[in-house]
Amino acid sequence: MAHLKNRLIGSVVVLAMLAVVGCNQNVPGDGNGGDGGDDLAPKIPPQSTFVIELEDFEDANSNGDVGTNGMVDVGTNGAIERGNWLYAGGTTFVWNVILTVNLVVPVAAFVESFNHQPTLGADGIWRWQYDFRVFSINHSAELQGQINGATIDWNMFLTKEGEYTDYNWFSGQSNILGTSGTWSLNRDPSNPSPFIQIEWNHDEETGENDIRYTNVIPDSDDNGGYIFYGVNNETPYNAFYEIYRAAQDATTEMEWNRETKEGRVKDPAHYGDDEYRCWDDALIDTECPEDGA
């Protein structure tokens, strides 16, 4: 658990940096709702199509380690039962830490793209060209978007001086309405092989969206494993994760309310049955409602 705690702290630092990079998503003329003359440019899919949110669980395991009895040691304040919420958060962070460590550069490049204006080439391809920094290291990016009928094809080429040039780190396709699409991400330039496949849906009108990351690493024991995240307008829970661990053939499902923080988790491999375990608005273990809500 101490090892997991260190990894969680690292992921929070990375995500905080990305939040600063991406604070401005809507600039004039960038094809994303601005009025600077590039309104014919394809609209870059929103950040929710590329980056999974984890803020509701980012404090998991910050107050102590979880023992075999599910109790959290908080020192002089005694023990508080937060085993269910902590277990749920721990399973999401394992995925998210892996993603942020391996994909910090392409994610930062994508987030930064919203701050720049595209130009249209004679080949019919729109190009967003810009520099950005990751951990104080300079990088260059060229995001390409090409409209092909009812779809838009995307490619991100990244350069780090002295190490790699125009590496096609990820590609994707979205429909012209921007309501669904896919991304295909490779591993880093030293190992240019398939890494993660992303499928996403986005409803601007209702605010509902979902995103699924699937492990596509060739010959990996976890090939086919995935994390599926979404937000909706259902009650009492309006957000969910589903995590499939292919190597163990095990699935964790969790739902929670983004406002009250109440939620529940189900994991037959961990708990030994197919029942939900719940937590209240203080994240304390509690009995689940009898009606299953």
Question: How confident is the model over 79-97, as pLDDT tens digits?
Answer: 458 999 999 998 887 777 7
| Tokens of residue 217, six digits | 């690493």
Q: Which percentage of the chain shows pLDDT scores above 90?
A: 69
> What confidence category does residue 210 fall into, taking pLDDT thresholds of 50, 70 and 90?
very high
Question: Average pLDDT in the 232-242 region?
Answer: 96
Taking the C-alpha atoms of residue 41 and residue 175, their distance in angstroms, rounded to an integer, is: 14
Question: How confident is the model over 17-50, as pLDDT tens digits?
Answer: 444 343 333 333 345 533 334 669 999 999 999 9
C-alpha to C-alpha distances, 123 to 45, 120, 146, 148, 180, nearest whole angstrom: 22, 8, 9, 13, 25
What is the 8-class DSSP label of residue 273? S
| Tokens of residue 249, six digits | 């053939």
Give me the sign of the Cα torsion angle 180, 233, 278, 13: positive
The yes-or-no verdict on residue 293 having pLDDT over 70 is: no
Domain chopping of the chain, boundaries:
2-286
**0.85 surpassed by pTM:** no
Q: Which percentage of the chain shows pLDDT scores above 70?
A: 77
> What confidence category does residue 174 fall into, taking pLDDT thresholds of 50, 70 and 90?
very high
Cis peptide bond upstream of 106, omega within 30:
no
What is the 8-class DSSP label of residue 232? -
Question: How confident is the model over 267-281, as pLDDT tens digits?
Answer: 999 999 999 999 999
**Least confident segment among 10-14, 97-101, 143-147, 228-232:** 10-14
DSSP annotation string for 108-131: HHHHHHTTS--EE-TTS-EEEEEE
Taking the C-alpha atoms of residue 203 and residue 179, their distance in angstroms, rounded to an integer, is: 6
- According to DSSP, the residues that pair with 143 across neighbouring strands are 128, 156
**Three-class SS of residue 20?**
helix
**Least confident segment among 44-53, 109-118, 260-269:** 44-53
Question: Average pLDDT in the 111-135 region?
Answer: 97
The yes-or-no verdict on residue 291 having pLDDT over 90 is: no
Question: Average pLDDT in the 72-82 region?
Answer: 53
Q: Where are the beta strands (DSSP E) in the chain?
A: 71-73, 79-81, 119-120, 126-134, 137-148, 151-160, 164-175, 180-186, 194-202, 209-215, 226-231, 239-245, 250-256, 263-266, 277-279, 285-286
Mean pLDDT of all residues belonging to the chain: 83
**Three-class SS of residue 14?**
helix
DSSP annotation string for 172-185: EEEETTSSEEEEEE
Q: How many other CB atoms are there within 10 angstroms of residue 87's CB atom? A: 21
Cβ atoms of 21 and 132 closer than 8 Å: yes
